[in-house]
Amino acid sequence: MSPWKGNRAYVISAAAVFLLAAVPIVITPFPPVTDLAPHIGQTLLAFRAAADPSGPYLILWGAPNTLIYAFLCPLAKIVPLEFLGRAALLFMTAAWIFAIFAAAAWKKRPVESALLASLLLFNVSFYWGFLNFMIGFPFFVFWVLFTTREKRGSPWRETAPLVPGSVLLYGSHILWFAVGALWLGLISLLRRLSFRELVIRGAALIPVGLASLVWFRKFAGYQAASGLDERAIWIVRPFEKLLTFWFRGQAFGGTTGIVETILFLLVSAWVIFALVSNRRELRKKIDFDLLAAGGLLFAVCMFVPDAIKNTIVFSGRWAAPCFMILLLSLPVPRLNPALRRGFALTAVLVFFLATTVQWMGFNRKDMAGFKECLNRLPRSVRLLELDYAKGSRYLSYRPFLQMYAYAQVFKDAELAYPFSKHSTGLIAYRGSVSSPWTPQLDWYPEWLQESDLEYFDYVLVNGSPYDHNHRLPRGRLTPVTEPARWRLYRVEKTAAGR
């Protein structure tokens, strides 16, 4: 029997979604993905740290949130540096598409549901560039599928694969391991497993649980020493999220304009129509395992803080995984199959076409002058970025926040606020590193003091003509590039700073 039989629609649909999603990524030299460049920088620093074990950088072997580098490091060996970031995004997009459509095929869910779930590929985590978090979603999906399959052996034999599965979740991100553990407890209770089976399942989490506790103690020390904000912050209160478009902004995450809002409302209408038109057969047509998994993620979205221990978008990052799984769990409207398929395909086409147009505008206007700044920047200098623009006319978050990390990637620059200082990636500084300049200039460039310039060789500025002409201490900065949105300035040292 052909392996294509029964799954051809899923394979063809998944391939079509990937090709559409790949277009904006491939054509944009500097994708508007905030933390993409720092992740590439961490990858390159890993090679340096491995070659010089006694150097300034330390590889955090065994730490969570680092599994993504097991893919990025080999990728860096075969992909030219200028394409490495885009290759990483293509890989991540393919992994999410595979997880969505594989789950739909495994659970025999309608292919239209998987197509509509694909609208959330470019979500808030994608645009912020949380690659180490995003890599956990496919593993969580298969964690759910494995823990809900029919029993095929003794409890010990059934539970043994959970140990490497928990390692993959932990390696992806500590948050995925925590949610995976919650899911394991929830589904075990829903399935009314015996006490013995509960104990065996719990034992499978002990090795990674202990490793998590050891890591967290070290991580808390790093965070405290760095002086970063460790408070739990609620920007939007739990039940306010239901009364606003908070979920739309997190599940999509992304571009300005009305396209994402219209698609969010259309998908919401699709869900309501599906429930109403199938109301007499809901128990038979709903996949309650996926519904429970989506419900768990919905609860996480609702009740965890928006930020904690310098982890931003703490609650919003779960919105897209939540809605993807919920869409797969529900039936589709009782309509002509061709009409349903046409609606889903049209929605996907419109979404990625609109995204491509927005990314093209971003690259053409918002990134004007950036490449010239990189070309004119000398190697191995100390660099500060001042992002006065902050927002974009094309995107609804902070796409420029880490753009200067491309200077680390291409010119080996020493950054004012590197990932290595936070110890949340693969690479950390071996010892403590002082930052005597004004804190949080990456977020609040208006706090710049003239004395801060003593610690840097060059300043990369993103702003309007007014920002360039009136907000900078021009007597200390010499323009290196021509007037544009992005400009590079050389810092003229005082006698004390020479």
Global confidence as pTM: 0.93
- Chain segment 175-220, per-residue pLDDT in tens: 999 999 999 999 999 998 888 888 988 999 999 999 888 887 777 6
Please name the helix (run of DSSP H) or strand (run of DSSP E) that holds residue 58, with its range, or none: strand 57-59
Q: Which residues pair with 307 in a beta bridge?
A: 233
pLDDT of residue 267: 94
pLDDT of res. 3: 41
Sheet-wide strand order for 382-387: 414-415, 382-387, 458-462, 486-491, 477-479
User: Residue 4 has what pLDDT?
Assistant: 46
- The reported pLDDT for the residue numbered 223 is 60
**pLDDT tens figures, 288-325:** 999 999 999 999 999 988 877 667 888 999 999 999 99
102-142 per-position pLDDT tens digit: 999 999 999 999 999 999 999 999 999 999 999 999 999 99
Q: Is the pLDDT of residue 230 over 70?
A: no
Q: What are 470's two structure tokens?
A: 């009136």
Model confidence at 355, pLDDT cuts 50, 70, 90, reads: very high
Least confident of 35-39, 221-225, 323-327: 221-225
Give the CA angle between residues 470, 474, 476 to the nearest 5°: 150
Per-residue model confidence as pLDDT tens digits over 408-458: 999 999 999 998 887 778 898 887 778 899 999 999 999 999 999 999 999
Residues 6+ apart with CB under 8 A from 33: 85, 89, 126, 127, 128, 129, 399
CA distance 166 to 178: 10
pLDDT for 234: 73
User: In this structure, how many other beta carbons lie within 10 angstroms of the beta carbon of residue 288?
Assistant: 12
Contact 315, 308 (CB under 8 A): no
